[in-house]
Structure 1
């Protein structure tokens, strides 16, 4: 069933009532970072539709239910260093910036140059000092850095081990792989604990070796 709402408050109530939005800090982020600022056309009628919206170049701003579901899995905390791969419109980067707070840091990565600029312009509306969007290179993630949390908003064909290498011990990676979302936690012995959630559709993850 397709749901569309008149404002952000109604959308958030839907996400809470459906059980997908549960944590107080993530709920606050949705309340304070409005989807209307990331769709490119604030006059369109379906801004608060609970479905993906096209933002150009074959990319979308994700369905709010899916975004809430993935952020609940990710469980970023205040002070965390987070990598947001496939930042697109900048909406998830901004939500994460609110969640991790001033002592945290969020780096958004985007391959499409137009969307890098689009995401940066949208992010500026919130004046976050703890977030930035960068042009992605030819490798996945940022080699040589470690993150507490990694969120990927596009689907890989297979699980990219190189992202697990960029995860701190005790950290968590949430990534679509095919029709699944993988919830990956790195344990003390570097072992990966993986939970698979089935039934999702994402634009493909594009990168080159």
Structure 2
């Protein structure tokens, strides 16, 4: 992972020292099917199970840079899939923090759960369920990461975001045509919940994710 991490730093997409450390500690090869381990260090999306994918490292780095997770944060990871992002977030949050992972598809849930068992994180809890509903029992969250594209920003996730918190998610562009592999064109949206309760949004176009399933 050190070579891949160095490439991401050289390209300018990975800047945060805490993220760099997490990328070096959490091996992406542990979160892909065994037959694809040799390709885990390439900057490309890879198939996992049930037609799902693990996002390319540069996209994950971009999203986590925008999320800006901190030690002791309470974090919700929606659509955790392979659980690579869950492990990265757990590494940063540390023992004083907590990461709650949601995955709606049973086969994908099992795949991610088994991957995560390769690491001894004591600060992670997983649940099978719809990302649109969030996990209200543990709200509010300092950070929310969504790794599947929503048609609109789910209201439940907005409600579960702490004041001063940040959420990063892909959203289908309004009126967009279909892009590569039949997916809709999407943007990564960064949502800040201000002290006033109002939302400030930033939009970064040009991404493709699987859809957020209800």
TM-score, normalised to structure 1, is: 0.92
| Superposition deviation, residue 31 in structure 1 | 0.3
Total equivalences in the alignment: 200
How far apart in 2 are the matches of 1:193 and 1:43?
Answer: 39
Aligned to 1:149: 143
Give the counterpart of 2:167 among 149, 167, 173. Answer: 173
Aligned to 1:48: 41
Bigger share in helix: 2
How far apart in 2 are the matches of 1:33 and 1:152?
Answer: 19
| Superposition deviation, residue 42 in structure 1 | 5.8
Say which SS state the counterpart of residue 165 (structure 1) adopts: helix
Q: 5+ residue gaps in structure 1? A: 1-7
- For the Cα contact (< 8 Å) 1:79–1:102, is it kept in 2? yes
- For the Cα contact (< 8 Å) 2:66–2:190, is it kept in 1? yes
- For the Cα contact (< 8 Å) 2:163–2:195, is it kept in 1? yes
Q: 1:138 to 1:21 in 2, by over 3 A?
A: closer
How far apart in 1 are the matches of 2:191 and 2:100?
Answer: 19
Q: 1:192 to 1:11 in 2, by over 3 A?
A: same
- For the Cα contact (< 8 Å) 1:87–1:133, is it kept in 2? no
Q: 1:161 to 1:20 in 2, by over 3 A?
A: same
Q: Deviations over 1:154-190 (max 9, x none)?
A: 1011222221111000000001001101100000110
Q: 5+ residue gaps in structure 2? A: 173-185
How far apart in 1 are the matches of 2:115 and 2:201?
Answer: 33
Q: 1:90 to 1:138 in 2, by over 3 A?
A: closer
TM-score, normalised to structure 2, is: 0.90
